[in-house]
Structure 1
Amino acid sequence: MSTDGGDGVRCLVTGASGYIGGRLVPELLAAGHEVRCLARTPAKLRDFPWSEQVETVRGDVTDPDSTARAMADVDVAYYLVHALGTGKGFERTDREAAENFGEQARKAGVRRIVYLGGLTPSGVSERELSPHLRSRTEVGRILLASGVPTAVLRAAVIIGSGSASFEMLRHLTERLPLMVTPSWVRTRIQPIAVRDVLRLLVGAAELPPEVNRTFDIGGPDILTYRDMMQRYARVAGLPRRLILPVPVLTPRLSSHWVGLVTPVPASIARPLSESLRHEVVCTEHDIDGYVPGPPGGPVGFERAVELALRRVQDADVTTRWSSASVPGTPSDPLPTDPDWTGGSLYTDVREMVVDASPEQLWRVVEGIGGENGWYSFPLAWAVRGWLDRLVGGVGLRRGRRDKSRLRVGDSLDFWRVEEIEPGKLLRLRAEMRVPGLAWLELRMEQDEQGRTVYRQRAVFYPHGLAGHAYWWSVAPFHGVVFGGMVRNIAAAATA
């Protein structure tokens, strides 16, 4: 790492492929800092848009040699790794990793460690904490005793697309209008928006050298989990949820319940559920005296949810199905987030090699709809149009402006042309009445053998339980409708 970075701080980030780390790195770069990432598998960082702007060192926080190499010439070391799991020995692994990290930082002359831990309840002994929170507390204590000035930022639920806690909240609220829930829905929590977490993490790099302590960090709202679900529903435009807490649902049982209802993996749902039995509210806000607040103050819960849902509500979910997309804010999804984050997204993907040139195939695709039809099961399309008109939609009556040419913004039966790359891509956004958002993407490519490949993708983002029910009710017909569409478009291109 260069040592002539001017006013910039030389930072080491561990956990850069994770939820917080992947969003912290571009914030540090934007602040003018140099960044080095320590990664067990550097290849995992290649898909991040900032990958070419950082230095990457292969290694592991449990390995003294690789950690020592990563610490060379570093001013501030961010510790963002944690064994979020229930397997035997994870607390010991966390302990040994923190001890090694602190020791190597001290030997390398690192001037500060910054650690993001979990907010713990006041008045509760460490023995009573969930294993997840207990381990995070122990890691913070080890780093504070390392001999390197350390800032331990302790947060509760982080609100942002991709956060495991937020995704659990999202899926529970969207999928269940009526919930029989664990008693922890009455627990008071002080959530914080991910952009405020990142702001404080970046600001912690400039703390005075004498600061060696924990800081509680939270947003302006103190809510129960039930309150958060109701407010999420309001922001998402869902009906008010009926929530019935049941005391007999233990943390173990509730983690299985969460796993059944949501796609959040059980290995993550269980420690999160166990931690929710404790009230986690900030007891101090001392970090405000060191890191200036943003204009207008910290982000409130409902605004944080709005930001997390922004891409979907703006009818732009390309961050979920295009690896080339880049998030506009820390609240947006990253292409590298796990598949179970960012809300449910259903797809029907089909492709076929076509014995025609891309130009011939494009002429057929650009002429789709209106009098030309949709190249599959005309009766099914007609019935769908009639049903749409029956519930107040536009149906198929709009047709198309031009018989052979399309422009962005054109209406096309009950679709709207959202994007065109002539000869390559046509993307349509549905304007029919459906409980969610829908797109149809038609793409032409050439493979390594020079053959023309037609790729077709239907994408549906469900809105509430009705959206999920809608998708599964029509899914049995996709083979006839979308499968026939692929075959008939290919046949028309070769005619």
Structure 2
Amino acid sequence: MRGLETAFVTGATGLLGGNLVRELAARGVRVRALARSPAKAALQFGGLAGVEIVEGDMLAVPGFAAALAGVDVLFHTAAHFRDSYTGGDHWDKLRATNVDGARNLLSAAYDAGVRRAVMTSSIAVLDGPRGAVINETMVRRVDRADDYYRSKILADEVAFEAMKAHSDLDITLVLPGWMHGPGDAGPTSAGQVTLDFINRKLPGIVPATFSVVDARDVARALVASAERGRRGERYLAAGRHMTMADLLKVYEQVTGVAAPKGKIPPLLLLVIATVSEAMARLTGKPTLLSLATVRLMLREAERSRFDHAKSERELGVTFRPVAETLRDEIAWFRARGRIA
């Protein structure tokens, strides 16, 4: 593997980070796994050969910068995401973690002697007409982005700025879609949809489309990018375009649970989100559906068809069937008592 003996992984206890740590360890790579909670990381990686847990936070990069010394490749998967769709203004935290954190991380890594990094970007940085097939050249304008999407666009700019400042710094960027799969300890929004479906808490079919991908396949794309990716290039690992109705059919096939049939119109979704945010402010409890989520859903509908030709050609990226992903995800939740 192209000079890859020791790797540093940020966001190691997340869905993608955890699968990446396991993928690297399985290949015999020594891994330094960054986690805010060493106890949580120990539960995930305890007994996994070659994995060293590093305590640290992307808001305080100097606190773990020394652990970057002697690393062949930095894999950056950490990001602030979930809270940005719970209502309210989260821009300061998004900027501090996703933008400033990335800048501080790359600076510390370079100072420590790291010359190769793979950054986890997002399909959020791309855009195109409704129904179009979108590739890596179709970069989203900042004025067509919500706060989370804007933070990912700016994080990419940080990577390109770092390469401009250091001609010997090699960075590639991998752009995942909506990730599902085993190891979703959070759970993420994807995992929560799975749990809600099984518990019959999904009220109906929303007018949304997604690009669904297995986190294990994204992890393999990250490793392939470290092995074969070209400096300064973006590589899509977005998975398969699906409507919500398509996804629910797969859930039904995998679980035997009947999928909801009724459609929820956009106007009703906006009303529900408005009421939900008002109740959240009154009760202090998390909102069930935020306006930011609904607006994103409606804005991005039929903008989830992505062209993986470049990633397939240069990285050998492939995607397993969505049914396999959901089956493994559900088995993982069940084994941990999350599903009766």
TM-score range, shorter chain: 0.7 to 0.9
SS at match of 2:227: coil
In structure 2, relative to structure 1, the CA distance for the partners of 1:311 and 1:247 (3 Å cut) is closer
Aligned residue for 1:371? none
Aligned residue for 1:292? 316
In structure 2, relative to structure 1, the CA distance for the partners of 1:187 and 1:240 (3 Å cut) is closer
Aligned residue for 2:133? none
Which one-letter code corresponds to 1:133 in the other structure?
Y
Find the partner of 2:217 among 189, 196, 199: 196
> How far apart, CA to CA, are the structure 2 residues paired with 1:215 and 1:89?
28
Aligned residue for 2:264? 245
Conserved in 2, the CA contact under 8 Å of 1:255 and 1:266? no
Conserved in 1, the CA contact under 8 Å of 2:2 and 2:227? no
SS at match of 1:57: strand
Aligned residue for 2:105? 101
Task: Return 5+ residue gaps in structure 1 as ranges.
Answer: 322-341, 346-460, 462-495
Find the partner of 1:168 among 192, 196, 221: 192
Find the partner of 1:117 among 115, 118, 121: 121
In structure 2, relative to structure 1, the CA distance for the partners of 1:172 and 1:310 (3 Å cut) is closer
Aligned residue for 2:93? 90
Conserved in 1, the CA contact under 8 Å of 2:8 and 2:75? yes
In structure 2, relative to structure 1, the CA distance for the partners of 1:251 and 1:25 (3 Å cut) is farther
Deviations for 1:428-449, whole angstroms, at most 9, x for unmatched residues?
xxxxxxxxxxxxxxxxxxxxxx
In structure 2, relative to structure 1, the CA distance for the partners of 1:178 and 1:135 (3 Å cut) is closer
Find the partner of 2:232 among 204, 212, 220: 212
Conserved in 2, the CA contact under 8 Å of 1:64 and 1:104? yes
Find the partner of 1:144 among 154, 160, 166: 160
> How far apart, CA to CA, are the structure 2 residues paired with 1:272 and 1:205?
33
SS at match of 2:120: strand
Aligned residue for 1:42? 38
Aligned residue for 1:26? 22
In structure 2, relative to structure 1, the CA distance for the partners of 1:113 and 1:172 (3 Å cut) is same
Task: Return 5+ residue gaps in structure 2 as ranges.
Answer: 85-89, 129-139, 164-168
Deviations for 1:101-121, whole angstroms, at most 9, x for unmatched residues?
121222233122112232135
Matches within 5 A, 1:264-303: 266=286, 270=290, 274-277=295-298, 278=300, 279-293=303-317, 297-303=318-324
In structure 2, relative to structure 1, the CA distance for the partners of 1:280 and 1:133 (3 Å cut) is farther
Aligned residue for 2:253? 234
Which one-letter code corresponds to 1:122 in the other structure?
D
> How far apart, CA to CA, are the structure 2 residues paired with 1:149 and 1:114?
8
Quick check: which has more Rg, 1 or 2?
1
Q: CA RMSD in A?
A: 3.2
Which one-letter code corresponds to 2:313 in the other structure?
G
Conserved in 1, the CA contact under 8 Å of 2:207 and 2:297? no
Conserved in 2, the CA contact under 8 Å of 1:28 and 1:34? yes
**CA apart distance, 1:290:** 2.8
Aligned residue for 2:180? 159
Structure with the bigger RCO (C-alpha within 8 Å, sep 6+) is 2
> How far apart, CA to CA, are the structure 2 residues paired with 1:251 and 1:104?
46
Equivalent residues, number: 302
Which one-letter code corresponds to 2:250 in the other structure?
R
Find the partner of 1:222 among 241, 247, 260: 241
Which one-letter code corresponds to 1:241 in the other structure?
P
Conserved in 1, the CA contact under 8 Å of 2:254 and 2:323? yes
Deviations for 1:351-404, whole angstroms, at most 9, x for unmatched residues?
xxxxxxxxxxxxxxxxxxxxxxxxxxxxxxxxxxxxxxxxxxxxxxxxxxxxxx
In structure 2, relative to structure 1, the CA distance for the partners of 1:204 and 1:6 (3 Å cut) is closer
Mapped pair 1:309 → 2:330: yes
**CA apart distance, 1:10:** 1.4
> How far apart, CA to CA, are the structure 2 residues paired with 1:255 and 1:236?
32
> How far apart, CA to CA, are the structure 2 residues paired with 1:241 and 1:311?
24
> How far apart, CA to CA, are the structure 2 residues paired with 1:56 and 1:177?
37
Conserved in 1, the CA contact under 8 Å of 2:16 and 2:216? no
Aligned residue for 2:66? 69
In structure 2, relative to structure 1, the CA distance for the partners of 1:64 and 1:238 (3 Å cut) is closer
Mapped pair 1:55 → 2:49: no
Which one-letter code corresponds to 2:93 in the other structure?
F
In structure 2, relative to structure 1, the CA distance for the partners of 1:222 and 1:65 (3 Å cut) is closer
Q: TM-score, normalised on structure 2?
A: 0.77
> How far apart, CA to CA, are the structure 2 residues paired with 1:204 and 1:255?
44
> How far apart, CA to CA, are the structure 2 residues paired with 1:255 and 1:46?
40
> How far apart, CA to CA, are the structure 2 residues paired with 1:171 and 1:254?
24
> How far apart, CA to CA, are the structure 2 residues paired with 1:144 and 1:268?
37
Find the partner of 1:187 among 200, 205, 208: 208
Deviations for 1:11-70, whole angstroms, at most 9, x for unmatched residues?
001111222222211210111211112333433322123466322333333335334312
Q: TM-score, normalised on structure 1?
A: 0.54
Which one-letter code corresponds to 1:213 in the other structure?
E
SS at match of 1:109: coil
Structure with bigger strand share is 1
In structure 2, relative to structure 1, the CA distance for the partners of 1:15 and 1:291 (3 Å cut) is same
SS at match of 2:12: coil
Conserved in 2, the CA contact under 8 Å of 1:113 and 1:151? yes
Deviations for 1:141-197, whole angstroms, at most 9, x for unmatched residues?
21232123222211221121425232232234334488355xxx3333221112211
SS at match of 1:222: strand
> How far apart, CA to CA, are the structure 1 residues paired with 2:248 and 2:2?
46
> How far apart, CA to CA, are the structure 1 residues paired with 2:243 and 2:236?
18
In structure 2, relative to structure 1, the CA distance for the partners of 1:68 and 1:179 (3 Å cut) is closer
SS at match of 2:190: helix
In structure 2, relative to structure 1, the CA distance for the partners of 1:283 and 1:275 (3 Å cut) is farther
Conserved in 2, the CA contact under 8 Å of 1:95 and 1:139? yes
Identity %: 22
Which one-letter code corresponds to 2:33 in the other structure?
C
SS at match of 1:113: strand
